[in-house]
Structure 1
């Protein structure tokens, strides 16, 4: 006789055996969208190309060859050092196998001395293992140390074990070849976008002068080869559609050993052109990885350009009275190619489209600003032509803002008394922060940019508006104040809405990084989705992400004491690792945990959450579900009659959530 133990209130069939632990590459196959783009396989091929480029960046390779085979597979060949194929000292398995079958296994964790790479785009160690997981077949051949090794996978599993033999006469001495057959089950279409691939390969050649990059298409029997000896400026000059107003501004700067702020080798190379018309060219890279969504290195370039141009204009007294210059005035007609080197880059997401490393802003700006100031003082006539362009942009912007102010100034609504408004009436610049609590609101008011940032503090928990009739919304004082401050009336998804009264281009939810803060965030998102859907549709609603930790690093040698902020545990670990590599033990780093926004000073809140150049601001969109499916999901979470459904959700997923109370 056997007895079974049932947990009171547990769902039928929910027991210890119901919990599934994903092993090996299973997480990638279950949720490929968390690791790569699923519209086409370009990104999983790019991971292999990036590895070849990292070898060239480290000075060990001069050639990269990509072949599009007639059977739909893609091969990437380099002449780098070759992936090691001996046994791993701790894992007891061939390193070549571990690289392609283990998440978070790679040679790019230990940056600086002792690591395989000083600078690389790879950080998480999941790149080519994701490629392998989402490929129906993958073959890798590594030439190294007088031997060649070959290994074959199918669906991420080894199907032909590693075979290692001595090199024969005439064989290449070193390098890696990876051939991938993308699995059509994981992608909307299995064909690579040829235009994007061509642009990617050409950019690699641009960023690595002297390295030859070749693309072979077996189907069309075409071969393209790129090698740029002129670097970024030649590439930008060839790509521009219009003639530059002044000669291209190009330069580079890298930190030397013992630099007080940056690691040896960190820095940037750039080429900037200013045009009066035509489409702009804006490309940025971090350790040769393209960042199409920009990031803090782009912000550093913008900051450096702005400070240098403003300094030149002030020195020569060129600015008319009443004209206030802003960074976007300088940047409005700037085309650029930027290549940054960052020791430990922090990217937004695995596909690395945006750089989030806070130090990159200071890094790029520190080299761009003095270089441009010197160039402008050496070429005064070119500087004056650029100043005219910038001043015209500022005057046009101010005229547009004045028109908006006249149109909106006749409104009869009285703004809420607790709203601390901004000075500007330029919709494209204005931001409203809905801040949890009066203490955090006070810090936000003191730390904000009063020209363009407004603050509306909220007291306590907001009303759950999911089932509130629209004509009853204004009975709640908090919701009334939000609607009046925004300047848009509540509406439904099919209503004709007048957005001309909108007072802020960005409406930002700012709450504590704890359970109560998350609750307030959900209540506000419910309000906007249910009663202000056009604001979400038009891209006006955002969620600010304040950091959880502050790390105080003591002075070491010539380097002064510094402060670093981490969004989560992962970033905290990365900061501590970087400090350890710079000779500061973890025990000497003081770690502070922010329990709420009220603990932050005005300066800290500005640096981490309000400053447009360094903050994390997440746009609110529908995501993977359409409006109807999103409404059904929110109804399950917020509807009064859905308590049973919520309980089922908690029983199913409660153990997967880490709650910080």
Structure 2
């Protein structure tokens, strides 16, 4: 899913009245005792929402039907859930009466081929409705090809592509062709494509009685590609091609010169090829004859038919990228060198390899090979592991969905990598092909004789691998380069390597791992003091994986973990000592994390990682280290106090008492808040900032009764202590161990929601700040985060706070039943995640931080928000999963309880979700999506289980479409017609395959992973006593 960025112009405001679940006005009252007869109306107003029974689906349903997808599918699937059933029922009856009154002639119609193309465009050019999805476009500012989430119309893109491929095909017919020009004029909505080389004969076709150019461009099912006995490596196949562009244009002009017959031809078609002007045929002049043959198509797409108003920057960027595609896929072919021009500018593309250098968002190919005259292959590593990325061309056609040619190459690469992984991981689990594919970026450019595709859009090649016209064998040298380079890349991503790492001096080298890129900048600034010979820096993207609870597959797939293994030169199942530690690339590992509890968590996960795989390393003196920086600085006049841990600060604060009110407190919210000069000061005095890890005995000393007593917590600081810090210390005694529980208490307090308001500490700070600011109007996320940090003593990273704010505003399926903040902007979709209380309550209800009041320890909402929005949380020693329930049912039960009646049993409820809920035998629930068989070869999926996002499911379906030499694909095609709220996958598969799926034990739901089991036996929350 996508999330809004703090830098974006995205706003948020508190949910508008009437009546929020949390009231910012203590005088405002809320009546739960209203009579049942008004329950529907009252409950709808009371929770600040128009309807929670599912009627909110109406607008989404309408959006789905208008998207050009399976119109009837949404109506059929959602009809039972709509609140306006009666109105719709009348409408359906009316339609039925209208249908029965039609005449035979009206019911049974015959359409011309042109009319059929216009009525059913999806069959020929794809959808004519705008879709939003990631696409590669050319950025004129950066001169790079970038992947962007854009809105475009597939059908519009396809008619342009037909003309471009038609021009590129001429290079195969005439190798002397050396020029292809594309002009895109967004102002006049005009596109032209010109190619030289052998042109179209300007003669009359004896059989059809018209000129050949007229036949080729103005009559469907005509062309030179119908002889399947002839071996061709062109993109045309079915006789539609350029005619489709003609049909979907308001104006379409053909211009060509035939030097053999010394004739120039011009003809214009108008109004979707419904009107044809007489051709202009004249004798070519001498100057025209010298220029040689050419063919030029100029057309104006009928934007109304594509629901477009103009050629916007994304449309132009998409069309421009296609020009670069042609230059990359055709420039290196035989004959004369092909030059491609875009809007008069010659594209600087020499061959396919230079074309690949334009992709700035993809990892550049680590290995590239021209296998033979017809095949070129490049392979890189997708370090995100987010799924295989492929850029492929068949006869200049961009096969955006891949196909048999991509499966053929990737299967060979996967097997090679599998062998290397298994060799490095003897005795461990085998790496699965899907795991390896997730890290591949594959580039393929090939010429294939008589290719076949799964549709007229030609996005997926279906030609059997055995039919490839030439033997394709990747050389040993290529595979060696790929394997070695792949592992090298994974080890150096964002790494500033020490100059002596991996040499005889590596035992003296220190790898500094930082908490994010901003902390890396701090470390790099410090390197100017200590130098780069013995210090390397590598930033972590977030909290490392907890390897102790992860599967082998998860560990092997985790980028951060495998990066550390490669950088350090660690080998699994090896016991390290003072002697053989010399074999590592670094003899020391230094953690540079924030001095807060998040930083402690990261430190703990790193220790956990080392201890799980190489516990002996923790016995090597000085191997594991920590770099510490101040977390709090207090000043009062000329006096200054600096603290490296919160416990030290809290101890000073308690000892200072009332005198603390006069001090100015500065919190360092992260390493990124320290300046470059401060970094140089830190590294100039490393002894004061570097602490070595000391592995202690697990036997904790017994404590005297005086230390603990009946009130065990009496000797423990109320504020959080740092458990991990106890391991990074130069002095240990039993009093330090008494502080361990304090840290755990703090972590649980921060991580688990409170039973009264259902909020975690960070969420409560957000709500408190909104009330304090009396937030009524929109405000940017970043601005609100700054206000919260200023007024609620929030001392953690701002990014974490941004995520909290965004999470409280999200309202799509699977998030909040009632979002406490109003999302004014893009806060994510299913696809790709007041004022202070009365001062008299301060003493008992409000937390304190030095001389100011911050948020209350808990709120008292009118209805139990913990049940409304549920929670998923984890803290030290505790985790919690609380399901969401219907606000209407909650309010109804509250009223029953007020009247001393027994409440009704409630079941989980997620606003807007249209799936099926089923109780299982273990006390949990099955969340089922919706799938049905539309016909012999088609399935329709209209809902996913709660929490399964559209993009993730799309990747799953792509896996079902994959095939190789050993396995046939399960499905042939997966089409998407979603809206931002409604799911719509149309799946095409062979009839016998669908029969097998239906008859299997778990049926279609099981085969397509549409059932999710959830148990709710772990509902743990805090109460007023923090238990």
Match of 2:192 in 1: 75
1:188-229 alpha-carbon deviations (Å, 9 max, x no partner): 21416111112110111111123111111xxxxxx4321432
Which among 219, 225, 234 is matched to residue 120 of structure 1?
234
Match of 1:239 in 2: 359
1:146-186 alpha-carbon deviations (Å, 9 max, x no partner): 21111111120353212222210111320101110112321
Give TM-score scaled by structure 1 length. Answer: 0.55
CA drift of 1:128 comes to: 1.1
Matches for 1:255-294 after TM superposition, within 5 Å: 268-274=375-381, 276=383, 282-294=390-402
Residues in 2 aligned to 1:167 and 1:380: alpha-carbon distance in whole angstroms? 58
CA drift of 1:101 comes to: 2.5
Match of 1:400 in 2: 554
Moved more, 96-105 or 15-24: 15-24
2:405 maps to 1:297: yes
SS in structure 1 opposite 2:357?
helix
1:424-452 alpha-carbon deviations (Å, 9 max, x no partner): xxxxxxxxxxxxxxxxxxxxxxxxxxxxx
CA distance 1:73–1:276, change in 2 (3 Å): closer
CA drift of 1:291 comes to: 1.7
1:5-29 alpha-carbon deviations (Å, 9 max, x no partner): xxxxx94343256432211411122
Match of 1:34 in 2: 123
Aligned residues: 440
Match of 2:319 in 1: 197
Give TM-score scaled by structure 2 length. Answer: 0.37
Match of 1:47 in 2: 162
**Does the 8 Å CA contact 2:246/2:252 hold for their aligned counterparts?**
yes
CA drift of 1:233 comes to: 2.2
Which among 311, 321, 324 is matched to residue 430 of structure 2?
324
Which among 328, 346, 349 is matched to residue 225 of structure 1?
346
CA distance 1:534–1:27, change in 2 (3 Å): farther
CA distance 1:84–1:199, change in 2 (3 Å): same
2:284 maps to 1:167: yes
2:107 maps to 1:107: no
CA drift of 1:285 comes to: 1.0
CA drift of 1:108 comes to: 2.1
**Does the 8 Å CA contact 1:248/1:271 hold for their aligned counterparts?**
yes
Match of 2:715 in 1: none
Match of 2:181 in 1: 65
2:455 maps to 1:349: yes
Unaligned 5+ runs, structure 2: 1-98, 131-152, 332-336, 493-544, 558-906, 986-1027
**Does the 8 Å CA contact 2:390/2:402 hold for their aligned counterparts?**
no
2:971 maps to 1:616: yes
Residues in 2 aligned to 1:400 and 1:365: alpha-carbon distance in whole angstroms? 39
Residues in 2 aligned to 1:533 and 1:22: alpha-carbon distance in whole angstroms? 44
CA distance 1:251–1:490, change in 2 (3 Å): farther
Which among 23, 27, 30 is matched to residue 112 of structure 2?
23
Residues in 2 aligned to 1:489 and 1:55: alpha-carbon distance in whole angstroms? 62
CA drift of 1:140 comes to: 0.5
**Does the 8 Å CA contact 1:286/1:339 hold for their aligned counterparts?**
yes
**Does the 8 Å CA contact 1:141/1:177 hold for their aligned counterparts?**
yes
CA drift of 1:248 comes to: 2.4
**Does the 8 Å CA contact 1:132/1:153 hold for their aligned counterparts?**
yes
Unaligned 5+ runs, structure 1: 1-9, 217-222, 255-266, 404-487, 545-604, 631-661
Residues in 1 aligned to 2:385 and 2:490: alpha-carbon distance in whole angstroms? 19
SS in structure 2 opposite 1:108?
coil
1:306-339 alpha-carbon deviations (Å, 9 max, x no partner): 123345667xx43432231232343333333211
SS in structure 1 opposite 2:168?
helix
Residues in 2 aligned to 1:26 and 1:300: alpha-carbon distance in whole angstroms? 40
SS in structure 2 opposite 1:299?
helix
**Does the 8 Å CA contact 1:506/1:541 hold for their aligned counterparts?**
no
SS in structure 2 opposite 1:170?
helix
CA drift of 1:55 comes to: 0.8
Which among 460, 468, 474 is matched to residue 371 of structure 1?
474
Q: Which has the larger radius of gyration?
A: 2
**Does the 8 Å CA contact 2:255/2:266 hold for their aligned counterparts?**
yes
Residues in 2 aligned to 1:186 and 1:178: alpha-carbon distance in whole angstroms? 20
CA drift of 1:133 comes to: 0.8
CA distance 1:186–1:346, change in 2 (3 Å): same
2:214 maps to 1:214: no
CA drift of 1:345 comes to: 2.3
CA drift of 1:64 comes to: 0.9
Residues in 2 aligned to 1:269 and 1:607: alpha-carbon distance in whole angstroms? 21
**Does the 8 Å CA contact 1:66/1:75 hold for their aligned counterparts?**
yes
Output the aligned Cα RMSD: 5.1
Which among 360, 370, 386 is matched to residue 251 of structure 1?
370
Residues in 1 aligned to 2:926 and 2:470: alpha-carbon distance in whole angstroms? 29
SS in structure 1 opposite 2:379?
strand
**Does the 8 Å CA contact 2:124/2:456 hold for their aligned counterparts?**
yes
Residues in 2 aligned to 1:402 and 1:310: alpha-carbon distance in whole angstroms? 12
**Does the 8 Å CA contact 2:254/2:298 hold for their aligned counterparts?**
yes
CA drift of 1:276 comes to: 4.5
Greater relative contact order, per chain length (Cα 8 Å cut-off, separation 6+) = 2
Match of 2:266 in 1: 150
1:523-556 alpha-carbon deviations (Å, 9 max, x no partner): xx6xx75896987967759999xxxxxxxxxxxx
CA drift of 1:83 comes to: 2.5
Residues in 2 aligned to 1:626 and 1:26: alpha-carbon distance in whole angstroms? 33
CA distance 1:87–1:397, change in 2 (3 Å): farther
**Does the 8 Å CA contact 1:284/1:338 hold for their aligned counterparts?**
yes
Match of 1:186 in 2: 305
